[in-house]
């Protein structure tokens, strides 16, 4: 998959160079054609991708299987394990010991966002947390702590949040539709070349030397035709012809 990589600076985003990502590894070609690897992590996540939510979904699927599968009308195991469990209820760690299809707690763990050093609290401006409410409104969600622990982003909210994978009437509390996004001020783990020096070396953007191993093409079209779709099958065809450096427009039959 081909992407564009952007470097965060004072203008928030600046195109850096092309790269390919395969299995969470980014293969980057720098301005000299050298290729190097960086581990790739997303800058956003939803509550459904947290480790706690993943465990709740795994539990729910196991409970469905224990009740005879998705086509069975039996819900005995699902109902018996529907009530939300906290880390305390699950011997200290829901992601390891939880048996319910619902998790409740202030702490959620995300393994697809990587920020900063281990076990150091982040400034709250580094990440943005929002919740979708009232059918579409995005409202900010406050949190008391966010840090990397064992290579994962752990966020501690000011109050309990819920992820409920189940559908039992024994637990009708619904999932908090929360998303986490890194901000433009956040420092990522990108450790590639320092491209700021290029602006100093090549300060004339119209006179940047082409690397010897690069090739290119110059396209000099002599005519260009545009076809504009219209309602009721009334179309418009425009043709431009370059005559001595001047583009002459003509209207063609539909």
Domain ranges in the chain are: 2-41, 44-182, 223-252
| Other CB atoms within 10 Å distance of the CB of residue 79 | 16
Least confident of 25-34, 94-103, 155-164: 25-34
Question: E-assigned strands of the chain?
Answer: 2-7, 14-22, 25-29, 35-39, 44-46, 102-110, 127-133, 137-140, 143-149, 152-164, 178-182, 223-228, 236-243, 246-252
What pTM was estimated for this model as a whole? 0.60
**Mean pLDDT to the nearest integer, 51-71:** 96
Q: Is the pLDDT score of 170 beyond 90?
A: yes
Residue 109 CA neighbour count, 13 Å, CB half? 16
Residue 100 has pLDDT above 70, yes or no: yes
Range of 55-69, 197-211, 233-247 with top mean pLDDT: 55-69
With CA atoms as reference, report the closest residue to 27 among 192, 210, 152: 192
- In 99-235, the DSSP E strands lie at 102-110, 127-133, 137-140, 143-149, 152-164, 178-182, 223-228
pLDDT band, residue 28 (cuts 50/70/90): low
């Amino acid at each position: 998959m081909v992407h564009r990589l952007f470097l965060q600076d004072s203008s928030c985003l600046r195109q850096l160079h092309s790269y390919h990502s395969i299995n969470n590894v980014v293969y980057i070609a720098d301005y000299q054609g050298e290729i190097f690897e960086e581990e790739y992590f997303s800058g956003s996540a939803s509550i459904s991708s947290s480790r706690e939510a993943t465990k709740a979904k795994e539990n729910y699927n196991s409970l469905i299987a224990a009740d005879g599968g998705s086509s069975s009308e039996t819900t005995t195991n699902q109902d018996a394990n529907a009530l939300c469990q906290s880390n305390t209820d699950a011997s200290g760690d829901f992601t390891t010991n939880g048996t319910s299809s619902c998790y409740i707690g202030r702490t959620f763990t995300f393994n697809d966002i990587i920020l900063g050093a281990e076990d150091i609290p982040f400034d709250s401006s580094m990440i943005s947390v929002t919740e979708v409410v009232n059918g579409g409104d995005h409202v900010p969600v406050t949190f008391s702590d966010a840090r990397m622990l064992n290579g994962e982003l752990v966020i501690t909210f000011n109050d309990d949040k819920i992820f409920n994978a189940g559908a039992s009437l024994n637990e009708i509390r619904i999932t908090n539709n929360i998303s986490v996004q890194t901000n433009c001020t956040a420092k990522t783990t990108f450790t590639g070349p320092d491209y700021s020096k290029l602006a100093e070396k090549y300060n004339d953007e119209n006179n940047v030397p082409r690397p010897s191993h690069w090739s290119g093409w110059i396209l000099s079209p002599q005519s260009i035709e545009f076809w504009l779709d219209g309602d009721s099958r009334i179309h418009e065809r425009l043709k431009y012809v370059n005559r001595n450096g001047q583009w002459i427009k003509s209207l063609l039959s539909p």
